[in-house]
């Protein structure tokens, strides 16, 4: 857990404590006050950034605009000021305090202060007791002489699950980043940097064998150079779809597995990954397959995994980490071009949307990045629009009374932690007329 996450966890815990605190320590009048405070803070807020109000897209009719809702600043320890006019507030407070406004206000403030102090002390204590922060050292620079590296070539038939597995290991966003920074002959599928170790995963496309287990003649020259470079990886991971192998085996895949495992390569560790184990109901079947390949001396280990669900992936990652050798890293783990960041911002919102909508984003909805601006304070203003021609689709995206606002809040938090800076994410759902 990185520091931000740790603080967020502490503060989430802190906010969840609030209702209990209200019942335990505060009398009902105070409770009403807090309740109204909450109602006030749900009112429309003024935009705080220096965005251009006259932006052409902003003037368009929008059915739902997340900018109209305040994104809670979870790290703030003092409550946000209500936006209702002070007179309205005082009137409401007077009703609930029977005119004894001053007295109750002082008392409330004292109680609030006391309660804040307690909660903060508790949260800090919990954060301190949580033990060393696993990812915290990732923010620290690792000296070149301390760096360890491992290159892993992944080989398998199309659809074996190479990308899904790499995505699971390194995180989708990181994979997307490294795809773009790739400069090698083989495509970089992903880069995982943990503590002093960096693992680069490479795809090895076009390395298919013909039915007799040899290279296709027509592509021989091109493919041969690819094959020779396969030997340059520290680890070669042969991956196959075990479900397909049990239901509709492909002789070419079988030959590939056999050929790679025929004999040990003194300069390379080879491992065999039986992927998509989640699709196999009778787990005994898996043992049969493992049995089938156990006598191939070329493989140091056989792993049973599901790259999509994550089964067995931790074990595989641990194994790979242990194979890393003293060598400076190849990739800068944190460089991101603006183009990549833009794609990430779209991907994160789409992911969140899928989580909330529980179905595919309806066909025909246009999801666009309409504005990307770095503000003077270093924060990012990102505006994305969903454009649809159907009211029914608008309902799916917006939810009842804008209940899907959570999408924007969660995506905003995630982007903030990926980009390591403040993010103002504005989402709009618009109906084409």
Ligand X SMILES: Nc1nc2c(ncn2[C@@H]2O[C@H](COP(=O)(O)OP(=O)(O)OP(=O)(O)O)[C@@H](O)[C@H]2O)c(=O)[nH]1
Residues that bind ligand X (CB under 6 A): 156, 158-164, 275-276, 278-279, 306-309
Burial of 330 (0-12, 13-18, 19+ CB in 10 A): middle
Distance, CA of 363 to CA of 17 (rounded, Å): 42
> Closest CB to ligand X among 142 and 277?
277
State the minimum distance, in angstroms, from the CB of residue 208 to ligand X: 10
> Closest CB to ligand X among 310 and 328?
310
> Closest CB to ligand X among 237 and 398?
237
> Closest CB to ligand X among 283 and 400?
283
> Closest CB to ligand X among 71 and 280?
280
Distance, CA of 397 to CA of 429 (rounded, Å): 7
> Closest CB to ligand X among 122 and 252?
252
> Closest CB to ligand X among 71 and 174?
174
> Closest CB to ligand X among 154 and 349?
154
**Nearest 10 degrees: Cα torsion 280, 281, 282, 286:** 20
State the minimum distance, in angstroms, from the CB of residue 183 to ligand X: 20
State the minimum distance, in angstroms, from the CB of residue 309 to ligand X: 6
CA-based nearest residue to 172, from 325, 347, 9? 347
State the minimum distance, in angstroms, from the CB of residue 177 to ligand X: 17
Total residues found in the chain within this entry? 433
Distance, CA of 193 to CA of 138 (rounded, Å): 8
State the minimum distance, in angstroms, from the CB of residue 86 to ligand X: 56
Distance, CA of 95 to CA of 90 (rounded, Å): 9
State the minimum distance, in angstroms, from the CB of residue 409 to ligand X: 28
State the minimum distance, in angstroms, from the CB of residue 32 to ligand X: 51
State the minimum distance, in angstroms, from the CB of residue 385 to ligand X: 28
> Closest CB to ligand X among 246 and 370?
246
Residue nearest to ligand X (CB): 161
Distance, CA of 11 to CA of 5 (rounded, Å): 10
CA-based nearest residue to 201, from 234, 155, 166, 230? 166
153 strand-pairing partners: 202, 236
CA-based nearest residue to 275, from 321, 312, 234, 326? 312
**Rg value, the chain, Cα:** 28
State the minimum distance, in angstroms, from the CB of residue 279 to ligand X: 5
Query: Could you tell me if 172 and 179 are in contact, meaning their C-beta atoms sit under 8 angstroms apart?
Result: no
């Amino acid at each position: 857990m990185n520091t931000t996450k740790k603080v967020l966890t502490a503060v989430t815990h802190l906010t969840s404590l609030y209702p209990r605190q209200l019942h335990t320590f505060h009398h009902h009048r105070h409770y009403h006050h807090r309740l109204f405070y909450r109602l006030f803070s749900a009112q429309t807020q003024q935009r705080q950034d220096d965005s251009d109000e006259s932006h052409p897209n902003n003037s368009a009719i929008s059915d739902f605009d997340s900018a109209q809702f305040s994104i809670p600043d979870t790290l703030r320890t003092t409550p946000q000021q209500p936006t209702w006019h002070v007179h309205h507030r005082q009137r409401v407070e007077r009703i609930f305090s029977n005119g004894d406004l001053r007295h109750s206000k002082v008392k409330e403030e004292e109680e609030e202060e006391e309660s804040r102090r307690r909660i903060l002390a508790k949260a800090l204590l919990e954060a301190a007791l949580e033990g060393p922060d696993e990812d915290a050292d990732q923010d620290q620079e690792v000296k070149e002489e301390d760096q360890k590296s491992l290159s892993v070539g992944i080989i398998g038939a199309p659809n074996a699950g190479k990308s899904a597995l790499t995505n699971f290991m390194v995180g989708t966003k990181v994979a997307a980043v490294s795809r773009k920074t790739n400069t090698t002959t083989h495509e970089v599928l992903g880069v995982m940097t943990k503590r002093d170790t960096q693992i680069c995963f490479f795809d090895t496309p076009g390395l298919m064998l013909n039915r007799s287990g040899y290279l296709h003649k027509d592509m021989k020259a091109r493919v041969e150079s690819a094959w020779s470079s396969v030997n340059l990886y520290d680890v070669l991971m042969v991956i196959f779809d075990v479900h397909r192998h049990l239901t509709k085996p492909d002789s070419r895949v079988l030959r590939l597995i056999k050929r790679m495992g025929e004999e040990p390569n003194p300069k390379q560790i080879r491992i065999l990954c039986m992927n998509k184990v989640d699709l196999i109901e009778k787990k005994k079947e898996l043992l049969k397959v493992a049995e089938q390949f156990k006598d191939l001396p070329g493989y140091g280990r056989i792993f049973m995994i599901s790259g999509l669900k994550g089964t067995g992936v931790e074990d595989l990652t641990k194994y790979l980490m242990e194979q890393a050798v003293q060598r400076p890293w190849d990739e800068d783990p944190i460089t991101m071009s603006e183009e990549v960041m833009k794609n990430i911002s779209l991907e994160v919102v789409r992911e969140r949307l899928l989580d909330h909508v529980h179905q595919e984003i309806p066909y025909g909805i246009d999801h666009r990045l309409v504005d990307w601006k770095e503000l003077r304070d270093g924060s990012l203003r990102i505006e994305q629009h969903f454009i649809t021609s159907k009211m029914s689709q608008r309902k799916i995206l917006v939810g009842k009374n804008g209940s899907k606002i959570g999408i924007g809040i969660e995506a905003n938090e995630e982007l903030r932690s990926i980009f390591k800076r403040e993010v103002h994410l504005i989402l709009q759902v618009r109906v084409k007329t």
